[in-house]
Structure 1
């Protein structure tokens, strides 16, 4: 493919991605894979170049673009060499017209301005749109960091997580014996710290209310030495089913999974009321803390969806509070840097459940944000996370 043809391909993909974002369709990565599956003539270099163009255009466009062409023109006006590809050549985009509209650069949708945590300034927003690191958690059931380091060339120990390693960009971790044997799992450093914030120990009963595909469940089981009981629940059957092979690879046998009916989560967990040493609520959220990995999710969020998520978070916290035994702990987390999902949600819970005592988190990093702590890419080198922890009344 010529540079002009690559630019046109990026425009076509941006059109698809923007439509999918507005209609809650497939993610950008999925659409890019489908696009090239139907275009076998594109070599690996072409695919990498087009993907890079697409993501560069997405990262600079906080608002959903009116068209893929407008998004790419916005990028081209910042990158002079790209403008030369709008030359009307075969398979390339039509020439740029004087005065033609282009997407202005922005970091977030305008309606989100003023809704970020007070700790989030412009430098933090910029960092949220940089490339994310490739992090892995070392599974203590299989070995320690000292075992995993020599098995992963180029890996370095993490600054904050004692159970994590950071790998070089593009490292194919799933092709290594360390991954196949369950010694390591891909997991952002912030997510690792969230798991450690639970203070999991052998013999405990832990409920992971929003377990998803099980990343934090696996980490909790490892911290427990695979001794005790973990109930991992979720309303998404597909995500929950992906946990099973991961448990087997990690050597974890103490996890039972439960599929919950949306809106009836409490009923499905009623037998656990007052029994859990720790309840973790890693709640569904805006995902603003993961914009480094999925920048087009900025285009999917809207005020109504955010309001529904905030209401769901509050409901899940109240359900989870009933499961904690006297003196046990409730841990709340969101991969969000919005005030209403983080410090605002924690403060509201504290008002509703005043007998629960806010506690300091037993992890390094982050900054105090109300009753919890906020981890961010610029400050901590992690995805954006808000984490809070309470002790239940005795």
Structure 2
């Protein structure tokens, strides 16, 4: 591919990504992978260059652009080298014209700006779009951090998580025996801290109520040392199905999976009422804390969708409360920097459930936010999270 053809390919991909963002379609990474699967002629350098162009345009535009060309024109207006590639060549984009519409540059969509926590200043917002490093969690069922670090000369121990290792972005960990043999899992350092907050121990009963593909479930398995009962529940079959091979690789095949019917979760959960030592709720959320990994998520979020998420978060917390035993705990977490999804949800839950109280120890890293903790890329070097632990008296 010529340099100009790479720009046109980025424009075509951006058109697909914009349509998917508006219509609830696949994520950008999925669309990019599919695009090149159908174009085998594109070499590795072509794929890398096109991907870089696409994400440069996505990171630059906080508001969803009108089309892919407007997104790339915005990049070209700020970069003469990119502008020169709008040359009208056979497979390249048409030349730029004066006053051609371009996507405006911004970090945060204008409607979200007032909702961000007041501690998310301009520096924090810029950090939300920086490229994220690659964080690993050492699987304590099979290894310890020092042993793994000795095999990763590019790795450094994470500052906050005792099981974490940080590598440069894009490091090919999946090609190593460490990953293939289940000694490590890819997991952001902040996500590792949420699992540790559960304080899961051997012999306990622990329920991961929104397990997804099981990243935090596997971390809990390491804490429990394969002793006790660990249940991973979710309403999405395809995501939950990905846990089984991951658990087998990690040596945690004892994990139980439970598929729930959304809106009728009680049908599957009734036998678990009041038995859990800990319930983890990694709730569906806006994802504002993960924009550095999924910057096009800014284009997908709407005020209507946020309201639906808020209602679902509260509903799931009420379900979790019924599963905890007396004296048991519930950890609530969202990868969001919006108080409405974090601090306010916890306050509302405690108002609805007077038998519960905050149970957050003072040695957790991050900044206190209400009765919970907030982590952010600029302050903590992690994805953005809010989490809190509550205890059933």
**Both proteins in one fold, TM over 0.5:** yes
Q: Which residue of 1 aligns with 2:312?
A: 312
Give runs of aligned pairs for residues 209-248 of structure 1, distance below 5 A. Answer: 209-248=209-248
Q: Would the aligned equivalents of 2:211 and 2:217 in 1 still touch at CA under 8 Å?
A: yes
Contact 1:277/1:324 (8 A) holds in 2? yes
CA distance in 1, matches of 2:117, 2:387: 13
2:55 corresponds to: 55
Q: Is the 8 A contact 1:193 1:363 kept in 2?
A: no
For the residues of structure 2 that align with 1:155 and 1:348, how far apart are their CA atoms? 41
In 2, are the aligned partners of 1:282 and 1:334 still within 8 Å (CA)? yes
> Equivalents in 1 of 2:262, 2:108: separation in Å?
30
User: Does the CA contact (< 8 Å) of 2:131 and 2:169 recur in 1?
Assistant: no
- The alignment partner of 1:42 has SS state of coil
In structure 2, the partner of 1:337 is 337
Instruction: Report whether the alignment pairs 1:33 with 2:22.
Output: no
Q: Distance in 1 between matches of 2:297 and 2:266?
A: 29
- TM-score, normalised relative to structure 1: 0.98
**3-state SS of paired residue (2:330):** strand
Per-residue deviation, residues 5-32 of structure 1 (Å, max 9, x unmatched): 1111111111110001111111111111
**How far does residue 299 in structure 1 lie from its aligned partner after superposition?**
0.8
* Structure 1 match to 2:167: 167
1:46 aligned residue: 46
* 2:112 corresponds to: 112
Partner of 2:368: 368
Residue pair 1:140, 1:222 contacting (<8 A) in 2 also? yes
Q: RMSD over aligned Cα, in angstroms?
A: 1.1
Any idea what SS the aligned residue of 1:114 has? helix
Structure 1 residue 231: Cα displacement? 1.2
How much does 1:300 deviate?
A: 1.0
* Contact 2:244–2:253, Cα closer than 8 Å, also in 1: no
**1:181-330 pair list within 5 angstroms:** 181-330=181-330
Query: Unpaired segments of 5 or more residues in structure 2?
Result: none
TM-aligned CA deviation for residue 265 of structure 1? 1.4
Contact 2:373 2:388 in 1 (8 A): yes
How far off is 1:119 after superposition? 1.7
**SS class of match (2:150):** helix
2:196 and 2:363 map into 1 onto residues whose CA distance is: 7
| Alignment deviations for residues 159-196 of structure 1 (CA, whole Å, 9 cap, x no partner) | 10000101122211111111111110010101100000
Deviation at 1:362, TM superposition (A): 6.7
Unpaired stretches in structure 1, ≥5 consecutive residues: none
Q: Which residue of 1 aligns with 2:151?
A: 151
Task: List per-residue Cα deviations over 1:234-287 (Å, max 9, x = no partner).
Answer: 000001110001111111133111000000113321111111110101011111
- Give the aligned partner of residue 355 of structure 2: 355
Between the aligned partners of 1:129 and 1:179, the Cα distance in structure 2 is 27
Q: Is the 8 A contact 1:152 1:178 kept in 2?
A: no
Query: 1:87 is matched with which residue?
Result: 87
Which residue is 2:136 aligned to? 136
SS of residue in 2 equivalent to 1:329? strand
Q: Which moved more, 1:50-59 or 1:265-274?
A: 265-274
> Within 2, Cα distance between the matches of 1:6 and 1:294?
22
1:146 is paired with a residue whose SS is: helix
CA distance in 1, matches of 2:182, 2:196: 19
The CA distance in 2 between the partners of 1:242 and 1:253, in whole Å, is 13
* DSSP 3-state at the match of 1:95: coil
SS at match of 2:71: helix
Q: In the aligned structure 2, how far is the partner of 1:290 from the partner of 1:266?
A: 31
Post-superposition CA distance 1:40-73 (Å, at most 9, x none): 2221111101100100100011111101110001
DSSP 3-state at the match of 1:153: coil
Question: Within 2, Cα distance between the matches of 1:280 and 1:34?
Answer: 34
Aligned length: 393
SS in 2 for 1:77: helix
Alpha-carbon offset, residue 301 of structure 1 = 1.0
1:274-310 CA distance string (max 9 Å, x none)? 1111010101111111111111111111111111111
The 3-state SS of whatever aligns with 2:135 is strand
SS at match of 1:318: helix
Is 1:70 matched with 2:45? Answer: no
Contact kept, 8 Å, 1:197 with 1:362, in 2: the verdict is no
